[in-house]
């Protein structure tokens, strides 16, 4: 079984993914960590040295490799992974996708003091809110193709959704 958690930066994919994987005794995969390991650079370094298009190509290649593997896992995708190079198609063809649909207010709270998110680099909360809103609007049509959509997701909500 492959379980993919998708959603905006700050939606809880990594935190919840670790919990779900531990509960189900499955491997946890953080796609961003896999990208950093392959490139031997942090995501901000990749963005600054090679740009977003290069990052998206690496992200897509790794997503497709994992999707094609015979392994079972719980994956926290990067926020954009489903949205580029047919990512959502690869995800839905090989596993269960769960869209963690958090409010903009919650996303702002969770991301405003964190560095390492190249698309969200700003010192101003209003600008962060505007960026998150724009990104969400652009990605929502893809996110809504998920097998399951959860608001205010927690371990129990994910486990209940998996029993469907």
Q: Measuring CA to CA, how many Å separate 119 from each of 17, 28, 48, 50, 154?
A: 22, 25, 11, 14, 26
Dump pLDDT digits (tens) for 29-45.
999 999 999 999 999 99
pLDDT at 113: 66
pLDDT at 79: 93
95 known ligand binder:
no
pLDDT at 91: 98
pLDDT at 112: 73
- Chunked mean pLDDT (size 10), the chain, 164 residues: 96 96 97 97 93 96 98 96 97 98 91 66 80 94 97 88 79
Dump pLDDT digits (tens) for 117-137.
666 666 678 888 998 999 999
94 known ligand binder:
no
Domains of the chain in sequence order: 2-162 (3.40.50.300)
87 known ligand binder:
no
Q: How far apart are CA 77 and CA 131, in angstroms?
A: 20
Q: How far apart are CA 5 and CA 116, in angstroms?
A: 20
122 known ligand binder:
no
2 known ligand binder:
no
14 known ligand binder:
yes
79 known ligand binder:
yes
pLDDT at 127: 87
pLDDT at 124: 77
7 known ligand binder:
no
Q: How far apart are CA 95 and CA 89, in angstroms?
A: 10
Q: Measuring CA to CA, how many Å separate 149 from each of 67, 69, 146, 162?
A: 20, 25, 7, 12
Residue 91 and residue 6 in contact, taking contact as beta carbons nearer than 8 Å: yes
80 known ligand binder:
no
Give helix 52-68 / helix 31-39 axis angle, nearest 10°: 110
- Which residues of the chain form beta strands (DSSP E)? 2-6, 27-30, 73-76, 96-100, 148-150
Secondary structure (H, E, C), 68-100:
HCCCCEEEECCCCHHHCCCHHHHHHHHCEEEEE
């Amino acid at each position: 079984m492959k379980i993919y958690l998708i959603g905006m930066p700050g939606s809880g994919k990594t935190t919840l993914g670790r919990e779900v994987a531990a509960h189900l005794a499955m491997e946890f995969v953080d796609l961003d960590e896999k990208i950093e390991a392959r490139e031997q650079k942090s995501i901000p370094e990749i963005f600054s040295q090679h740009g977003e298009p290069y990052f998206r190509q690496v992200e897509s290649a790794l997503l497709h490799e994992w999707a094609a593997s015979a392994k079972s896992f719980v994956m926290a995708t990067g926020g954009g992974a489903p949205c580029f190079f047919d990512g959502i198609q690869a995800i839905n063809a090989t596993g269960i996708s769960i869209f963690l649909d958090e409010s903009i207010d919650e996303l702002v709270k969770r991301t405003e003091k964190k560095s390492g998110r190249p698309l969200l680099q700003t010192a101003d909360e209003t600008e962060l809110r505007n960026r998150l809103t724009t990104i969400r609007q652009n990605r929502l049509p893809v996110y809504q193709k998920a097998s399951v959509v959860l608001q205010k997701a927690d371990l129990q909500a994910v486990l209940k959704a998996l029993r469907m």
